[in-house]
Chain A
Amino acid sequence: MQGTPAKRIALSAWLMAVVLAGAGAPASAQERPDWTRFSARLAEGRVDSSATVQTLVNRTVSGADSDVLSLLEATRQRPDWPAPARDSAVYRFTHALRELPAGAVSPTIVTYLKAYEPNTLVPHEDHPQGRVPLYNVRAAAAGLEHGWMRQEALLEGLALLKSNPRGLADAFALEGDRPLRAGYLQAVSQASPTQLQGVVAETARRLPANPDLTPLAARAAALAGDAEAIVQVLDHGAGPAVHRMLRSVADSADTPLLMALLPAGLGSANRESGALVLAELYPRLAGRPDADAVLLARLGDPDLGAGAALALARSPSLDTRLALEALAATTDRPVARRARLALDLREQLDLEAAP
């Protein structure tokens, strides 16, 4: 640290030069204004970029890929437009591509969009310290690609349904990509009753050994309204598709089917499914003496008792309330405890519902 005065002066001068050079350097981060969403939208509104977007679309359709890429890059850097307007134009172009079939858009254009570097970053809605793109072109490009994949799988699925409905299960099992699977599921929604029965039979047969087929089996079972297939999914299915199936069944099934599924679902070895049956199917049956009786008999169940109590707390039946009070006074501790829980929850729900 010790040095001659001349050395110290030289060092100080050098440090000052470095600092001044840094302050004067137009680092890109320093050039970026601190946009808020509001200020960015205001700036964007000062420019009408519709003509540019339309030109980009027209050139894409005509196959002028290199022109499109040049215009995209020129738009991204256009000095006479504020940064939000530039990003907005590219984003709107990306969305406009959704109207075109996959084959009409060059992969180089999609690659460019998937790597697009945003000009405008704004504070995140929940964490203002973090900044996110005002227009997330990369996400829109990924969504564009997924939409095409989904469409492709839909067409393939429809073709399979015509030629070999059981083959759809093979295709679904082999494919791990979510957009492709979504396309197959969409195809099932458009199947004829005969085709649907083919899918139901095949997925129900294979589900115990291959729970990965749950989304397909669940969709087919719900559409067919096939009680046996629905129970098969309850017993062997896994994942969120089981819940979606039950919600769909609750919306569309008639009361006899729901009454058949309630005890069958509660008796399933798959406890999660039983809880979901309580949550989704019982509300359509609440207050019916036969449905309430099924739930009252389940209060002592270690896994499903609390769910039965919560469901019974919402029963409008006075008889059920009296039955709960009677059970709460019995010496069967688990049953009495859940009956008391149902009455307490009912009281709280009444309080919350009060104006």
Chain B
Amino acid sequence: MKHLRSMRNAIVFAGLLFTGGADAQNGVLVEWVENNPFNAQDRIALGYPVPIPVDTPLPFDGFRTYAGLHARHMDLAAGTPWVHPETVGNTRKGRTLWAYRLGTASPPGACRKRPC
């Protein structure tokens, strides 16, 4: 479990450094870490704990995963009259692309002037 989590963190926080020109085609994968005592070339030491995204909808002192933010948006849409989700397409991997209209509940394209 511990190893799996470390591996997941390493993957999530691996930064792909594109270096322009020919280097861009040979991206260098580096891992961000708090300390790098042995000066490993494939690690970048931040000097502070590496921020990890958290799977939660509620805002907190950190940043959230996509799933957490999506749950938050959907919860706001279901619980308030001001947030209106719409699907606007799919990613190449088949995931839904969401857009959110904020404001009144008039449908897209509806006349917003009175009288219509």
Complex contact B55–A310 (CB within 8 A): yes
Contact pattern, B 11-44, Cβ under 8 Å of A = 1, otherwise 0: 0000001111111000000000000000100000
Complex contact B57–A276 (CB within 8 A): no
Contact of B56 among A95, A178, A307 (CB under 8 A): A307
Complex contact B94–A123 (CB within 8 A): no
- What's the dominant secondary structure at chain B's contact region? loop
Q: Which residues of A contact B21 (CB under 8 A)?
A: 36-39
Interface size class of A (residues with CB under 8 A): 35 or more
Complex contact B51–A38 (CB within 8 A): no
Q: Which residues of B contact A310 (CB under 8 A)?
A: 55-57, 67-68, 71
Residue of B17, B20, B96 contacting most chain A CB atoms (<10 Å): B20
- B23's nearest neighbour on chain A, judged by CB, is A38
Complex contact B75–A305 (CB within 8 A): yes
Complex contact A352–B58 (CB within 8 A): no
Q: Which residues of B contact A98 (CB under 8 A)?
A: 39
Contact of B71 among A39, A283, A303, A306 (CB under 8 A): A306
Q: Do A352 and B61 form a contact, CB below 8 Å, given A36-B20, A38-B21, A306-B75?
A: no
Is B2 interfacial (CB 8 A cutoff)? yes
Complex contact A341–B78 (CB within 8 A): yes
Q: Do A244 and B75 form a contact, CB below 8 Å, given A95-B39, A303-B58?
A: no
Contact pattern, A 226-265, Cβ under 8 Å of B = 1, otherwise 0: 0000000000001110111001000100000000000000
Q: A351–B94 Cα gap in the complex (Å)?
A: 8
B69-116, CB < 8 A from A = 70-72, 74-75, 78-79, 93-96
Complex contact A243–B20 (CB within 8 A): no
Q: Which residues of B contact A243 (CB under 8 A)?
A: 52, 54, 60-62
- B74's nearest neighbour on chain A, judged by CB, is A341
- A124's nearest neighbour on chain B, judged by CB, is B20
Q: A286–B57 Cα gap in the complex (Å)?
A: 18
Complex contact A341–B58 (CB within 8 A): no
Contact pattern, A 292-312, Cβ under 8 Å of B = 1, otherwise 0: 000000000001111101110
Complex contact B60–A276 (CB within 8 A): yes
- A275's nearest neighbour on chain B, judged by CB, is B58
Complex contact A279–B74 (CB within 8 A): no
Q: A303–B56 Cα gap in the complex (Å)?
A: 11
Nearest CB in chain B: distance from A120 CB, A: 13
Q: Which residues of B contact A352 (CB under 8 A)?
A: 93, 95
- A98's nearest neighbour on chain B, judged by CB, is B39
Nearest CB in chain A: distance from B23 CB, A: 5
Nearest CB in chain A: distance from B29 CB, A: 13
Complex contact A182–B20 (CB within 8 A): no
Q: A344–B70 Cα gap in the complex (Å)?
A: 11
Q: Which residues of B contact A306 (CB under 8 A)?
A: 57-58, 71-72, 74-75
Complex contact A272–B47 (CB within 8 A): no
Contact of B68 among A37, A178, A242, A279 (CB under 8 A): A279
Complex contact A239–B74 (CB within 8 A): no
Nearest CB in chain B: distance from A180 CB, A: 12
Complex contact B49–A240 (CB within 8 A): yes
Complex contact A276–B56 (CB within 8 A): yes
Q: Do A240 and B51 form a contact, CB below 8 Å, given A37-B20, A251-B2, A279-B68?
A: yes
- Name A's B-contacting residues (CB within 8 A): 36-39, 41, 95, 98, 122-123, 125, 128, 143, 146, 178-179, 182, 238-240, 242-244, 247, 251, 271-272, 275-276, 278-280, 283-284, 303-307, 309-311, 334, 337-338, 340-341, 344-345, 348-349, 351-352
Question: 6 nearest interchain CB pairs?
Answer: A275-B58, A37-B19, A306-B75, A306-B57, A310-B71, A279-B56
